[in-house]
C-alpha cells in the first residue's frame, strides 16, 4: 500500500502568486500540455506541470526551493498552447518573484519593491539620502565654479561613493545570504524528487558547472530554443551586455580616479568612453524593445515587477546619456539636475536589486549551474 502524504495547502501563498502575475493559476486541469510543449524542459522530471500542480495546492515548500522554477525562461510557448489559458509561464514568473522576496533576509524590502504605491518612497530614499549627506559633509555644491561643466564639482565623487559603495555591499550581503539558503533548498528538493543522487554539493563541481554554463547564458541559447518569444532574446541580450559594459566602465573609472588620480570629464575619444556610450545606447534600445514586446503580447501577463525592471533599465540609460549630452551642450542646470536623478536610479538599482526581478540574473544562473553540475539535461 502506498505511503500516505499529508498535504498542507498554504492559501496565503496561492493568493500571493495570483497577485504577482499568476492570476489564471486555477484554470489548470493538469493536462501536461505545458511540459510537452516546453522546448527547454529536462526529460527527467520535466516542468512546468508539476509546478502548476504544487502551486494549485499551495505547496510553497515544493516551489520556493525548486530549481526548475528558475530554469524556465518564460518564453511563452506553454502559455500559448495551454488549452485552458492557465498561463504556466506567468505562474512560474510569479513564483520566482515570491522566491526572491522569501530568500531575502529583509522580506519587507520585497513587498516594498513590488508595490506600485511605494514607488515614490523607493525614489525618495536616495533623493533625501544624497541631499542630507551632501549638505552635512559639504560635498554637494549647488553653485559649481567655472564655466566648464564638471559633474564632480556639483556632486563630489567622494559623496557618490560614500553612498553607492554601502548600497553595493548591502546587495552582495543579501545575495550571499539568499543564495546559501536557495542552494541548500534546491539540493534537498532535487534529492527528494530523484533529480540527483549526489548527497553533498561539491563547491568545485558547482564552479565547473557555472563555467560551462556561462557561454550558453551570454549567447542566450535557452531563449533561442523557444519559439513564441524568440524575438525577446535580442532585446534581452542588449540590456544584459549594456549592464555588463557599464559595470566594466564604472570599475575602470573608479581605478582611474582613486588609483591613478585621473579625474574626468574624459575625452569622447577615450576607448573606455566608447564602451560606456555603446553600452548606454544598448541599454536604452534593448529596454525600448522589451517594452514594445510586452505591449504586443496581449495574452501574456506583465505585472508591476516586470515593468519596474524594464522601466528602471530605460531610466538608467536615458538619464545617463542625457547627463552627458547636456554637459557637452553646455546646459549646466539641466545637466546637473539630470545627473542627480541618474544617481538616484543607480542607488535604487544597487540597493533593491536583491528583491527586484533583476535578481533572477543571480538565482537563475545559480539554478542553471546546479542543473549542469548534477548532469540533468
State phi, psi for 140 to the nearest 5 degrees.
-115, 115
Are both 87 and 156 inside the same structural domain? no
Residue 260, beta-bridge partner list: none
Mark whether 274 and 346 lie in a shared domain: yes
Whether residue 223 is found in the same domain as residue 123: yes
Judge if 242 and 146 occupy the same domain: yes
Question: Which of 126-130, 146-150, 213-217, 343-347 has the weakest average pLDDT?
Answer: 146-150
45 and 165 belong to one structural domain: no
Residue 49 lies in a domain: yes
**What is the phi/psi pair of residue 59, to 5°?**
-85, 75
Please indicate, yes or no, whether residues 352 and 226 belong to a single structural domain of this protein: yes
Residue 37 confidence (pLDDT) above 90: no
Q: Who contacts 4 (Cβ-Cβ below 8 Å, separation ≥6)?
A: none
Worst-scoring range by mean pLDDT, 20-29, 35-44, 116-125, 222-231?
A: 222-231
Grid cell listed for 361: 540574473
Tell me how far apart the alpha carbons of residues 116 and 199 are, in angstroms, rounded to a whole number. 43
Residue 79 within any structural domain of the chain: yes
Q: Are 70 and 93 in contact (CB under 8 A)?
A: no
Report the run of H or E that residue 17 belongs to, with start and end. helix 11-19
Q: Is residue 84 located within the same domain as residue 132?
A: no
Q: How far apart are CA 227 and CA 152, in angstroms?
A: 47
- Which cell numbers in the block locate residue 97? 518573484
pLDDT of residue 5: 62
Q: Strand runs (DSSP E) across 226-365, as ranges?
A: none
Tell me: the pLDDT tens digits for 255-310?
Answer: 988 888 888 788 888 999 999 999 999 999 999 998 988 888 776 667 888 888 89
If asked whether residues 93 and 216 sit together in one domain, one would say: no
Judge if 211 and 152 occupy the same domain.
Answer: yes
Give the number of domains in the chain.
Answer: 2
- 300-344 tens-digit pLDDT: 667 888 888 899 999 999 999 999 999 999 998 899 999 999 999
Question: Can you give the pTM of this predicted structure?
Answer: 0.88
Q: Is a pLDDT exceeding 80 seen at residue 180?
A: yes
* 338-359 mean pLDDT: 92
Whether residue 13 contacts residue 60, with contact meaning beta carbons closer than 8 Å, is answered with yes
Where does a domain end: 73, 103, 133?
103
Here the cell at position 343 is: 544617481
Do residues 26 and 153 both lie within one domain?
A: no
Its domain, for residue 214, covers 107-373
Q: Which of 40, 71, 103 is the last residue of a domain?
A: 103
Residue 311, pLDDT score: 92
Whether the Cβ atoms of residue 283 and residue 313 lie closer than 8 Å to each other: yes
CATH of residue 73: 1.10.1060.10
Specify if 358 maps to a domain. Answer: yes
- Is 4 inside a domain boundary? no
2 domain residue, yes or no: no
pLDDT at 2: 56
> What pLDDT is recorded for position 259?
84
Return mean pLDDT, the chain.
Answer: 89
Residue 3 within any structural domain of the chain = no
- CA atoms of 115 and 111, how far apart (whole Å): 6
Domain boundary among 43, 74, 103: 103
Concatenate the DSSP letters of all residues of 131-168 into one string. Answer: HHHHHHHT-B-SS--SSS--HHHHB-HHHHHHHHHHHH
**Cα(28)–Cα(48) distance, integer angstroms:** 11
Residues listed for the chain = 377
Identify whether residues 159 and 275 lie together within a single domain: yes
- Is the pLDDT reported for residue 166 higher than 90? yes
87 inside domain? yes
- Asked if residue 5 belongs to a domain, the reply is no
Residue 63 CA to residue 286 CA, distance in Å, equals: 31
Share of the chain above pLDDT 90, in %: 50
Rounded distance, CA 357 to CA 31, Å? Answer: 29
Backbone angles phi, psi at 325, to 5 degrees: -65, -45
3-state class (DSSP) for residue 314:
helix
- Three-state DSSP at 28 gives coil
Same domain, 152 and 186: yes
> What percent of the chain is predicted at pLDDT more than 70?
97
Residue 263 near residue 257 (C-beta atoms within 8 A): yes
Amino acid at each position: 500500500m502506498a505511503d500516505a502524504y499529508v498535504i498542507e495547502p498554504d492559501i496565503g501563498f496561492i493568493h500571493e502568486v495570483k497577485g504577482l502575475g499568476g492570476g489564471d493559476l486555477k484554470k489548470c486541469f493538469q493536462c501536461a500540455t505545458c511540459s510537452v510543449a516546453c522546448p527547454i524542459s529536462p526529460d527527467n522530471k520535466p516542468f512546468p506541470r508539476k509546478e502548476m500542480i504544487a502551486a494549485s495546492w499551495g505547496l510553497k515548500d515544493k516551489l520556493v526551493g525548486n530549481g526548475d522554477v528558475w530554469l524556465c525562461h518564460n518564453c511563452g510557448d506553454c502559455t500559448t498552447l495551454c488549452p485552458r489559458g492557465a498561463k504556466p509561464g506567468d505562474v512560474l514568473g510569479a513564483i520566482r518573484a515570491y522566491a526572491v522576496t522569501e530568500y531575502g533576509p529583509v522580506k519587507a524590502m520585497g513587498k516594498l519593491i513590488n508595490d506600485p504605491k511605494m514607488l515614490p518612497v523607493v525614489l525618495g530614499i536616495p533623493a533625501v539620502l544624497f541631499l542630507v549627506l551632501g549638505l552635512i559633509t559639504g560635498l554637494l555644491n549647488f553653485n559649481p565654479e567655472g564655466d566648464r561643466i564638471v559633474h564632480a564639482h556639483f556632486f563630489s565623487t567622494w559623496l557618490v561613493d560614500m553612498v553607492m559603495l554601502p548600497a553595493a555591499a548591502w546587495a552582495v550581503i543579501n545575495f550571499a545570504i539568499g543564495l546559501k539558503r536557495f542552494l541548500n533548498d534546491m539540493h534537498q528538493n532535487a534529492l527528494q524528487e530523484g533529480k540527483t543522487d549526489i548527497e553533498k554539493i561539491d563547491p568545485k563541481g558547482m564552479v565547473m558547472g557555472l563555467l560551462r554554463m556561462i557561454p550558453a547564458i551570454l549567447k542566450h541559447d535557452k531563449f533561442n530554443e523557444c519559439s513564441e518569444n524568440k524575438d525577446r532574446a535580442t532585446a534581452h541580450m542588449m540590456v544584459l551586455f549594456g549592464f555588463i559594459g557599464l559595470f566594466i566602465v564604472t570599475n575602470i573609472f573608479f581605478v582611474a580616479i582613486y588609483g591613478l588620480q585621473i579625474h574626468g570629464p574624459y575625452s569622447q575619444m577615450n576607448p573606455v568612453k566608447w564602451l560606456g556610450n555603446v553600452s548606454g545606447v544598448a541599454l536604452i534600445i534593448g529596454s525600448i524593445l522589451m517594452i514594445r514586446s510586452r505591449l504586443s503580447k496581449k495574452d501574456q501577463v506583465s505585472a508591476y515587477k516586470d515593468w519596474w525592471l524594464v522601466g528602471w533599465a530605460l531610466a538608467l540609460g536615458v538619464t545617463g546619456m542625457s547627463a552627458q549630452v547636456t554637459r557637452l551642450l553646455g546646459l549646466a542646470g539641466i545637466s546637473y539636475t539630470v545627473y542627480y536623478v541618474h544617481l538616484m536610479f543607480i542607488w535604487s538599482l544597487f540597493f533593491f536589486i536583491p528583491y527586484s526581478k533583476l535578481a533572477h540574473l543571480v538565482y537563475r544562473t545559480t539554478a542553471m549551474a546546479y542543473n549542469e553540475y548534477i548532469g540533468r539535461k
